Amino acid sequence: MKGGLMKVKAYAAAGVDIDLGNKVKATLPKLLASTHRKEVLGKVGGFGGLFALDTRKYKQPVLVSSTDGVGTKLKLAFAMDKHDTIGQDLVNHCVDDIAVLGAEPLFFLDYIGTGKLKPHVFTQLIEGFARGCSQNKCSLIGGETAQMPGFYQDGEYDVSGTIVGVVEKSKLLDGKTIKAGDAVIGMASSGLHTNGYSLARKIFFEQLKMTVKTKVPEFGNSLGAELLKVHVSYGVLVQKLLKKFNLEGKPRTVKGLAHITGGGFVDNIPRVLPAKCDVVIKKGSWEMLPIFSMLAAKGNVPEEELYQVFNMGIGMTVIVSGEKVDSALKFIRTQGQAAWIIGEVVKGKGEARVR
C-alpha cells in the first residue's frame, strides 16, 4: 500500500497527477447525462465504449466515421482561457463531415493531450463536448485524457474527436445523380469555423497588430470573441431536409452536400461531383460576414487564395435539382438557417470555381 502511494506521488512529482485525473473524471457521469441514448451500454470509464445499434431500423445500415481536430483555433482558446466552445466546435465539425453523406450521428469519442491537467480546462472542454453531442442527438461514450509533461507548452493542449454515424445504404448521398442544370444552395457559417486560423492570426495579430481584446465595431464584439464563435452544426437540419425532399422511390431533390472546411469551395465541392460536372460559385450571391470582408480588405491576400483557405461565410453547400431549388431554399430558411442560391452545376470535369 505504502509502495503504491509512493509511486503515485513520484509520478505526480514528475508531472502526471493520477489522483487529480481521477478526481476530475469523477464528474463525467453528470456532465454526460444529457448525451445519453438508449443504445449506449455500460458506463464511461471502461476500456471501450459500448453502443448497441438497433439494426431493426435499417435494411442495410452503413456506418460512417470521421476523425478531426480544430487546428490552431486552439491558440485563441489559450489566449482567452476559454475552452467550452472548442469542445462544441469539434463535435459540430465532425457531425458536419458525416452529414454530407446523409448519416445520422450515433456516438462520439474525444482525445485530450496536455502537459499538466488543469481541472477548469478539462471541465470546460467536456461541457462543450456534451453540449455539442446533446444538440446533435449523439452520445459521448468515451475518450482519453493523456498527461504528457514536457511534450506541450505550459498551458497548452491538443484535442481531437472521432464520430460514428449511420445511414441506410439506399439513402447514402454519393453525388452520382448530380447533373448540369442543378443548383447550389449555400448555408451561412458563423465565421471561420475551424479552418484558416493560421493565416487569420497572422493577418490580425502580426500584420494589423490587433489583440484578442481589440474591440471591432463591425463585429459588435472583440476580435477574440469573433474568432471563437462556434462552428455551426448543420446535421439536424440536413436530416430534416433529406426526410422532406428525398422520398423513398422518387427522384432525389437533394443530390449532394459539401462541408466547406480547409480548401474552401475549390477543394471541397469536387469531392461530391461526378467526373463530367463542374460547379460555378457566384461571388456576391450571399451576405459576406464582416470578418471575411476585413480579411479581404486588409490581409493583402489574393482573392483566389481567400476563397480556398476560408469558407467566406458559407459553411455547407447543398446541390439540389434545379426545379426544386426554391422549395428547398424556403424550407432551409424556415428552419432558422440563413441560406442563398450561390451557384450552379455545369458540364465540366469535376471541378469547382468561383467567379
Nearest 5°: phi and psi at 146?
-110, 125
Return d(Cα 104, Cα 297) in angstroms, integer: 39
Residue 299: what pLDDT? 94
Q: Tell me the longest C-alpha to C-alpha distance in the chain.
A: 76
Q: For 44-67, b where at least 16 C-beta lie within 10 A, e where not — what string?
A: beeeebebeeeeeeeeeebebebe
In which residue are the cell numbers 485530450 written?
Answer: 112
CATH number of 14-171: 3.30.1330.10
SS (H, E, C) 92-134: HHHHHHHHCCCCEEEEEEEEEEECCCCHHHHHHHHHHHHHHHH
pTM of the model: 0.92
What is the chain's length?
355
Q: Does domain 183-354 have CATH number 3.90.650.10?
A: yes
Whether the CB-CB separation of 210 and 223 falls below 8 Å is answered with yes
Residue 23: what pLDDT? 67
Domains of the chain, residue spans = 14-171, 183-354
Q: What angle do CA 103, 241, 307 make, to 5 degrees?
A: 80
* CA 34 distance to own-chain centroid: 20
Residue 1: what pLDDT? 43
Which residues, 6 or more positions from 92, have their beta carbon under 8 angstroms from its beta carbon? 132, 136, 230, 231, 232, 233, 235
Instruction: List helix spans (H) across the chain.
Output: 2-13, 18-25, 28-32, 74-80, 84-99, 119-135, 197-201, 223-227, 235-245, 264-268, 290-298, 303-309, 325-334
Whether the CB-CB separation of 172 and 256 falls below 8 Å is answered with no
Residue 37 identity (one-letter amino acid): R
Which residues, 6 or more positions from 322, have their beta carbon under 8 angstroms from its beta carbon? 181, 182, 183, 344
Torsion of CA 286, 287, 288, 291, to 10 degrees: -140
Return d(Cα 194, Cα 262) in angstroms, integer: 8
What Rg do the C-alpha atoms of the chain give, in angstroms? 22
Splitting the chain (355 residues) into consecutive groups of 10 residues, what average pLDDT does each group show?
A: 53 66 66 82 81 94 97 96 96 98 97 92 93 95 91 94 97 96 98 97 97 96 97 98 93 97 96 97 97 95 94 98 97 98 98 96
